[in-house]
Amino acid sequence: MSKIIVGHDGGVATVTLSNPGKLNAIDVSMWNGLTEAFSGLSRDESLRCIIVRGADGNFAAGADIEEFASVRSTLEQGMHYHTRTIADALEAIANCLHPVVAAIEGVCVGGGLEIACACDLRIAAPSARFGIPVTRLGFPLAPGEYIGLLQLVGRATALEILLEGRVFDAAEAREKGLLHRIVADVPAEARNTAARIAQGAPLAARMNKKLARRLSPVPEPLDEQELRDAFSFLTSHDYREGVQTFLAKTKPVFTGK
């Protein structure tokens, strides 16, 4: 049965996409499960990082197309499917309080790649495969999902991916700006990356994630309250800890306070 599995290991949570026998194709229950999982994790202030992965050697093959006849057949269904079901899941990842790392092995196509694009960092195996071949399926990319792709790779590369509809390897994905790095042992590098993130101050990481989306692609000026929030670290324990230990050349212990 398809499912979203959430695990914990210290301050790092792992979210696993699982749809056995279907390369983890994402059905409506999994999109809803992602929304729920990330909403819950976002409220857990003890966390420092979240890793997203797929079960059994693949990230995700895309949306579950067998479902389309029942969940995405009319205009109303299709708009609900994309502007609510999928959009809610992708926003729950993108706006999650904590940094999110995608650990990508095997197939990472269509909706799977959209999930990866909503994460903050993307690490992949050399043999992973990427693409959004929707034009071969007779439809264009939905606008909300398109924005995520455009903000990551820009217009020229987004159009190449969509117009040609090719599936391509990790080296090409990295050249296109889809990946931060390619490594042989993806689970190990994902853990190490999460550990590096967890070594920093949690409030700083959360503000860095939030401001990245607030200030790009359009750098709208912050209002007075947002500005004070951005500088609220000045009254935090972790700021004093960070500066003191830096000057004393000792190791900081950050508490998220």
* Contact positions with its own copies (CB under 8 A) in 151-190: 151-152, 154-160, 162-166, 177, 180
Which of 142, 168, 169, 187 forms a contact with its own copies (CB under 8 A)?
142
- Beta strands per DSSP E along 100-236: 100-104, 107-109, 121-124, 129-131, 168-169, 181-182
Smallest gap, in angstroms, from Cβ of residue 255 to its own copies? Answer: 10
Smallest gap, in angstroms, from Cβ of residue 46 to its own copies? Answer: 18
CA distance 254 to 233: 12
Which of residues 5 and 208 has its CB atom nearest to its own copies in the complex? 208
Smallest gap, in angstroms, from Cβ of residue 35 to its own copies? Answer: 20
Instruction: Answer positive or negative: Cα dihedral of 16, 21, 26, 28.
Output: negative
How far does Cα 184 stand from its chain's mean position?
20
Which of 22, 29, 68, 95 forms a contact with its own copies (CB under 8 A)?
68
Q: Which residue has the tokens 């935090």?
A: 236
The answer to whether the beta carbons of residues 7 and 13 sit under 8 Å apart is: yes
Helices and strands in the chain, H and E counts: 11, 9
Which of 51, 60, 104, 203 forms a contact with its own copies (CB under 8 A)?
203
Q: How many CA atoms lie within 13 A of 131 on its CB side?
A: 15
Q: Which of residues 110-139 bind its own copies (CB under 8 A)?
A: 120-122, 134-139
The answer to whether the beta carbons of residues 145 and 86 sit under 8 Å apart is: yes
Smallest gap, in angstroms, from Cβ of residue 203 to its own copies? Answer: 7
Which of residues 55 and 207 has its CB atom nearest to its own copies in the complex? 207
Q: Which of residues 24-63 bind its own copies (CB under 8 A)?
A: none
Which of residues 36 and 67 has its CB atom nearest to its own copies in the complex? 67
Q: Which of residues 217-246 bind its own copies (CB under 8 A)?
A: 217-219, 222, 227-228, 230-236, 238-243, 246
